[in-house]
A and B are shown apart, each in its own frame.
Chain A
Amino acid sequence: MKLHITIILALCSFFVNAQSSEVKFGKVSMDEVRQKEHSLDKEADAAILFQKERLVYDYNPEKGFNYSRKVHYRIKIYKKSGLSWSTITVPLRNNGALKQKIYGVEGLTFNIQNNKIVKDKLKKDGVFTQNINKYEDKVSITLPNVKEGSIIDIEYEIASDFVGSIAPFVVQYGIPVNLVDIKVEIPEYFNYKKNTRGFYPVKIGEVTEKKKIDFQYREERDTKAFLGGGEQSQGIRRGNLEYFETDYSITANNIPAFKEEQYTDNIENYRSAIVFELESTKFPSEGYRMYSQTWGDVANVIYKYDDFGGELSKDKVFRKDIDILISKYTDKAEPAASIYNYVKEKIVWDGYYGFGCENGFEKTLEEQKGNVADINLMLTSMLRYAGFKANPVLVSTKKHGIPLFPTTNGFNYVIAAIENDGDYILLDATNNMLAVNELPNRAINWYGRLVREDGTSTSIDLSPKKISSKTIFMNVKLQEDGLVNGNMRTSLTDNLAYDYRDTNGSKSIEDIKEEKSELLTYTEILNLEVKNLNVPGLSMVETISFENENGLERIGEKIYVDPMLFLAIKENPFKMEKREYPIDFIFPRAEKINISLNIPEGYKVEYLPENLAIGLPEGKGIYNFTMKENGNNIQLVSSYEIKNAMFSPDYYTSIKEFYNQIVQKQTEKVVLTKI
């Protein structure tokens, strides 16, 4: 977009009431530079002493509103490992029409030399702009002369045309943050919802003020001003704009370093930040435009998008095919599965997300591929055409995080649902190996929003209610010489079956056998068969026969046996002493292992591990272990169940101990002696 107007002057009154802060760019105290370690976190390799951000909207008669976000970081480097904090990278968005630009980049490094503070200034050669792709540039700012003990001040301003989108104000990093001072001034034309993420207290103040912007511009061609009038004087126009604005002031102190932990759904859900999401706009020229308010509103807004609700009605393109498909059924319920299979088999997911169609139904059918919405909205539409009460369900994937508040940005995925007497059947046709009511792990994230044609919507729990189960029967023959022969039959249902299919579905039996064999150091798989590998929905059965050379150890006259062989959980997955974030098991699960051990001729059982029955609080998990002797045979049953998909961190200690006992029990030995 080329500018035909040169702005001569833009007088704004934005900073008039801004509180003058005590921290000023370029002025640091001797104490700060001398500081050797962080007062609260002695291990911190660097710290953000101060983070200041000012976001203000500006008005330009040609382009309308834009905003500027001015950022000042003061960073202290304590250790050499913290030197990477002397480079700051700033991503800039760009979609062709709208852009973000950086300007006013300033940087100073402070060091102590001969008891004096010495400054080094950032020069142009320390600022690098790299074009990443057509949507993004990356600006890296790296400061000179930074070493252990240095303090750096970095300041820059981003001018953004993306008026309806404000990147989150992140206030928690891998290093501690001492003081945060953020001000955001939003004109009345924009209505944002705001929310805080994370666990640390952040104060948000809010006042409404009256604002006025004066502007002048030279006109080089006829332009239609967006707002207000103005008087003509020799090609120079003068205008002003008066409005109310809401000023938010966000402050926080002493936010500790952000620690990453394993087994979380998405770690970014727990990083402290303040998030702004556009709810509505109200311009004098356009009137009120709602983006979102409640989840219901969001659903309604999305439904009206052409690539969503609009596409849903385009059933012309597939009518003929579906007519043929359903003509052979007399029972009205049956065709649902066959339509679902039809879409799964015919259309391949191209790997792209989104709740809006990228290709549209027609192109999707023609090319036989599409994004998530192309596939699942078309599925919804086909089901509707066949007479089912089918509706789309908006979803936020695990990677996309928990949708904090009702905005269109909260979602990035869509699945289909059939309503049936107050119950819902969920369908996702993006993967050939999925079955009715099975969702891939990426889509099992909190709640989705079901949207109906009439604009009503309902919240849908995406966690599978059905427990995925694994049932194993294993027969083992122990031989005196140490060799162990056995066979094992494993059946998997629901998401456990899907995981297996997703990993192995496209492989040959030989490859599955090979890969499984390689994982087991001391066990060689002699034969492997899989039933229902490519038949989603049915329970999947794997049968192997094997030879193991490490299941028993002869010490003196006795034989010590690992009764669970390679099935024992040998390591507790939960190792850290404490935990701050929820624990994600993705879906509830149950495992039952039945083992029959045939002991060698001439030996008798001297010792069997004792039975064990333990549980998690409130019966949310149980583990049972029993062993009994039966002539030449030993029967072992080990079963556990985790009834919830997600646990709050309060359960961490119990879960860790639960697994400790399981590991302990499963690695206990059976002792055999010669008769």
Chain B
Amino acid sequence: MRIFLLLIFIVSCDTISAQDNNFSKLNLSLLKNADAIVRLDQMTVDVKSSDFMEVNSSRIVTVLNEEGVEAVHAMAYYDKETSIKKLSLTIYDANGKEIESYKEKDFVDQTATGEGTLYSDSRIKYLNYTPTKYPYTAEVITKYTTSDTAFMPRWYFLDGYKVSVEISEFTLNLPSNLKFRHKENNLESFGVTGNVSGTGVNYSVKNIPAITSEDLDPALIDFAPNVQFALEDFHLKGVDGHATTWKEFGGWIYNSLLKGRGELSPSTIQKVQTLVRGVNDPKEKIKIIYQFVQDNTRYISVQMGIGGWEPISAKEVDRVKYGDCKGLTNYTMSLLKAVGVESYYTIVSAGPNMRSLDFDFPSLQGNHAFLNVPLADEELWLECTSQVVPANFSGTFTDDRYVLKVGPNGGEMVKSRHYAPEQSKQITKAKITISESEVKARVEIKSTGIQYNQKYGLSNESKEDVEKYYKDYWDYVNDVHILNHSIENDRDNIITTENIDIITSGYLSRAGERLLFAPNMLNRNEYVPKRSKDRKRDVVIKRGYLDEDDFEIIIPAGYKIESNLKQTKLSNEFGEFEVSVEQISESTLRYKRKLLLKPGKFSKINYDNYRDFRKTISRVDASKIVFIKK
């Protein structure tokens, strides 16, 4: 099968070479692990002025199988500032013979907005071609012009897993009076050749084999080769800008997009001043204002023109009581100012994968805004789009990354809130009573830090959904019934306390005279990373946490312990794991467990050790105590 495919390949690339002498002989190493081969990826960016550029690209992809179809990229985005000048797709069969050709009018034109957004200017034209046979080759030609020079394309040819690249070329041309910056990332060891001058750059690379994804590896963009570009004088949705440093960039955002949008009516100012009357502690004041925002506003998503970057004015939010992240952040900032608290509009690349804004490449980045409030001895963070998150809690959406604080003095790169593993703590206490037929447990779980993030939402869920949550949480407990549950969300101390009563008749395994019972019935960790024969990249653990468990276990009447769990005590660079079971009376056992997982970046040689560590945890967590009839 494989060999057959190879033959087709050699034939096909020869034929294509005959048509187009840009193609060299196909390097067979490109077939390894590949679902598709980018035969040619060519992009030319012609900047004519700080508010106009033209981008031409042609991309030829040989698709080897179904999975490779998405590497074709038969699409183009547009909006009011960006217009598509050329868009076409041509399909060649395995012998290089043209079989289909599509023009721009054949492409589907639709909004590029997700479900939750009420309105957005952003649109897409795309075409989903149905292949009849593999392999086939698709050629996509696009040309667009835009006044949004704030978004310079990146040279980023290795943009997916299991796709190899035969040739990629990138050219940037610009008039000598326009200055630009660029930053090369991860180019070493890829054999990139390039040339950078005052009037542009060109880069090219050949024969880059496909890479495959790995468990717990760094984000693709952090190790894939790429080059970023930015103009010193740029243009965004009708607004001119100039920046070479984050300080300047922040200053531009402040002066062009924020300034003058913070005014409030005297009656609103008076209202919030009344709310904090008599309160001197600034932290208290902030909490009161934040609560006011949470009780009176809601989040909606609208992305219209510069409105995708500029907040709607505080006055407007005050009238309608809704806004997007920028509008609500700006509104909260204005309310705080009205009660004498300075705060800073902050731009972040939001999402659980903890992306930082590029510390040493200032450019238009990020997708979310929130608020930074510096106090004398600490720094508070306010997420203004949520009606339920406590003041000063950062969840996985915005935690621990470089963000841009914006103010009248310009921009400043700072790190957002980081929770040490010991702060992201969960304490589970329980009394477990075993009888011959069933097991009952009375459980209390306290969660803080990042672990709070996963829990506070539960306090707003319906009884049915909460029961479902616990049944999934304890999915290894067969036939579990939730008798009672309650959750207390202490927003002042940012801690949740869950109380749950459960019963199961499906947890014990019987073996004749014996009952087998795994004492870790309430916080079992079953995750083990995938097996890997030839680990290629570093191991990245983004967030750490600490779990402590303390269960009192009542032995079934008429039974005694035949064999107990051995004590486990492990400590290494990845964390600590301790388990012990102590008999404290004839009928009572005490199970104690501690699991500390540390965040970190470990070299690839540690992967198997990490996997072993997780395997041990998973195995010990499932180990059983044996009770035998007296």
**Pair A87/B300 contact, Cβ less than 8 Å:** yes
Kindly state the separation between the CA atoms of A409 and B628 in the bound complex, as whole angstroms. Answer: 65
Q: Which residues from A are CB-within-8-Å of B562?
A: 556
The answer to whether the Cβ of A555 comes within 8 Å of any Cβ in the partner chain is yes
Q: A508 is contacted by which of B1, B298, B460, B479 (Cβ under 8 Å)?
A: B1
**Pair A555/B626 contact, Cβ less than 8 Å:** yes
Q: B479 is contacted by which of A259, A368, A555, A660 (Cβ under 8 Å)?
A: A660
Pick the interface stretch among A128-136, A201-209, A642-650: A128-136
**Pair B624/A553 contact, Cβ less than 8 Å:** yes
The answer to whether the Cβ of B514 comes within 8 Å of any Cβ in the partner chain is yes
Q: B109 is contacted by which of A125, A134, A259, A572 (Cβ under 8 Å)?
A: A134
The answer to whether the Cβ of A142 comes within 8 Å of any Cβ in the partner chain is yes
**Pair A506/B66 contact, Cβ less than 8 Å:** yes
Closest to A135 in B: B110
The answer to whether the Cβ of A334 comes within 8 Å of any Cβ in the partner chain is no
**Pair A83/B387 contact, Cβ less than 8 Å:** yes
**Pair A130/B111 contact, Cβ less than 8 Å:** yes
Q: B387 is contacted by which of A80, A368, A518, A558 (Cβ under 8 Å)?
A: A80
CB of A219 to closest CB in B, whole Å: 37
Chain B 167-188: CB-based contact to A (< 8 A → 1; otherwise 0): 0000000000000000000000
**Pair B321/A145 contact, Cβ less than 8 Å:** yes
The answer to whether the Cβ of B319 comes within 8 Å of any Cβ in the partner chain is yes
Kindly state the separation between the CA atoms of A667 and B619 in the bound complex, as whole angstroms. Answer: 16
The answer to whether the Cβ of A238 comes within 8 Å of any Cβ in the partner chain is no
The answer to whether the Cβ of A9 comes within 8 Å of any Cβ in the partner chain is no
Chain A 494-506: CB-based contact to B (< 8 A → 1; otherwise 0): 0000000000001
Kindly state the separation between the CA atoms of A348 and B563 in the bound complex, as whole angstroms. Answer: 62
**Pair B511/A348 contact, Cβ less than 8 Å:** no
CB of A108 to closest CB in B, whole Å: 13
Q: B132 is contacted by which of A130, A369, A576 (Cβ under 8 Å)?
A: A369
Kindly state the separation between the CA atoms of A575 and B502 in the bound complex, as whole angstroms. Answer: 14
The answer to whether the Cβ of B154 comes within 8 Å of any Cβ in the partner chain is no
Kindly state the separation between the CA atoms of A670 and B511 in the bound complex, as whole angstroms. Answer: 7
**Pair A555/B563 contact, Cβ less than 8 Å:** yes
Q: Which residues from A are CB-within-8-Å of B319?
A: 144-145
Which residues of chain A in 355-373 are interfacial with respect to chain B, using CB atoms and an 8 Å cutoff?
Answer: 367-369
The answer to whether the Cβ of B512 comes within 8 Å of any Cβ in the partner chain is yes
The answer to whether the Cβ of A539 comes within 8 Å of any Cβ in the partner chain is no
The answer to whether the Cβ of A148 comes within 8 Å of any Cβ in the partner chain is yes
The answer to whether the Cβ of B584 comes within 8 Å of any Cβ in the partner chain is no
**Pair A669/B511 contact, Cβ less than 8 Å:** yes
Q: B119 is contacted by which of A140, A351, A664 (Cβ under 8 Å)?
A: A140
The answer to whether the Cβ of B284 comes within 8 Å of any Cβ in the partner chain is no
**Pair A146/B511 contact, Cβ less than 8 Å:** no
Closest to A518 in B: B530
The answer to whether the Cβ of A81 comes within 8 Å of any Cβ in the partner chain is yes
Kindly state the separation between the CA atoms of A521 and B622 in the bound complex, as whole angstroms. Answer: 14
Q: Which residues from A are CB-within-8-Å of B531?
A: 517-518, 524
Q: Which residues from B are CB-within-8-Å of A553?
A: 623-624
Using A259-B464, A660-B479, A663-B478 as known contacts, say yes or no to A133 and B109 having CB atoms under 8 A apart: yes
CB of A258 to closest CB in B, whole Å: 12
Q: A668 is contacted by which of B111, B509, B623 (Cβ under 8 Å)?
A: B509
The answer to whether the Cβ of B630 comes within 8 Å of any Cβ in the partner chain is no
**Pair A671/B511 contact, Cβ less than 8 Å:** yes
Q: Which residues from B are CB-within-8-Å of A148?
A: 295
**Pair B460/A80 contact, Cβ less than 8 Å:** yes
Pick the interface stretch among B77-85, B216-224, B468-476: B468-476
Kindly state the separation between the CA atoms of A349 and B128 in the bound complex, as whole angstroms. Answer: 13
Chain A 640-675: CB-based contact to B (< 8 A → 1; otherwise 0): 000000000000000000001001100111110000
A-B pairs with beta carbons under 8 A, tally: 144
**Pair B516/A669 contact, Cβ less than 8 Å:** yes
The answer to whether the Cβ of B493 comes within 8 Å of any Cβ in the partner chain is no
Closest to B461 in A: A81
The answer to whether the Cβ of B506 comes within 8 Å of any Cβ in the partner chain is yes
The answer to whether the Cβ of A79 comes within 8 Å of any Cβ in the partner chain is yes
Closest to B475 in A: A571
**Pair B111/A131 contact, Cβ less than 8 Å:** yes
Q: Which residues from A are CB-within-8-Å of B296?
A: 145, 147
**Pair B530/A126 contact, Cβ less than 8 Å:** no
Chain B 152-170: CB-based contact to A (< 8 A → 1; otherwise 0): 0000000000000000000
Q: Which residues from A are CB-within-8-Å of B472?
A: 575
Kindly state the separation between the CA atoms of A506 and B35 in the bound complex, as whole angstroms. Answer: 12
Which residues of chain B in 512-569 are interfacial with respect to chain A, using CB atoms and an 8 Å cutoff?
Answer: 512-514, 516, 528, 530-531, 562-563
Q: Which residues from B are CB-within-8-Å of A131?
A: 110-111
The answer to whether the Cβ of B302 comes within 8 Å of any Cβ in the partner chain is yes
The answer to whether the Cβ of A242 comes within 8 Å of any Cβ in the partner chain is no
The answer to whether the Cβ of B198 comes within 8 Å of any Cβ in the partner chain is no
The answer to whether the Cβ of B108 comes within 8 Å of any Cβ in the partner chain is yes
Q: Which residues from B are CB-within-8-Å of A43?
A: 462-463
Q: A572 is contacted by which of B118, B479, B516 (Cβ under 8 Å)?
A: B479
Q: Which 10 A-B pairs have the closest CB atoms?
A: A133-B110, A607-B512, A128-B119, A144-B320, A350-B130, A140-B118, A80-B387, A368-B132, A556-B563, A145-B321
Name 8 extra pairs, CB < 8 A, besides A506-B65, A671-B512. Answer: A144-B320, A146-B298, A351-B130, A368-B132, A553-B623, A560-B511, A576-B468, A609-B511
Report which A residues bind B (CB closer than 8 A): 43, 45, 79-81, 83, 86-87, 125-126, 128-134, 140, 142, 144-148, 259, 347-351, 367-369, 506, 508, 517-518, 521-522, 524, 550, 553, 555-556, 558, 560, 570-572, 575-577, 606-607, 609, 660, 663-664, 667-671
Name 10 interchain pairs, CB-CB below 8 A, sorted by A. A125-B320, A140-B119, A350-B130, A369-B132, A517-B531, A521-B618, A555-B624, A570-B476, A577-B481, A660-B506
Report which B residues bind A (CB closer than 8 A): 1-2, 65-66, 100, 108-111, 113, 118-120, 128, 130-133, 294-296, 298, 300, 302, 319-322, 387-388, 460, 462-464, 467-468, 471-472, 475-476, 478-479, 481, 506, 509-514, 516, 528, 530-531, 562-563, 615, 618-619, 623-624, 626
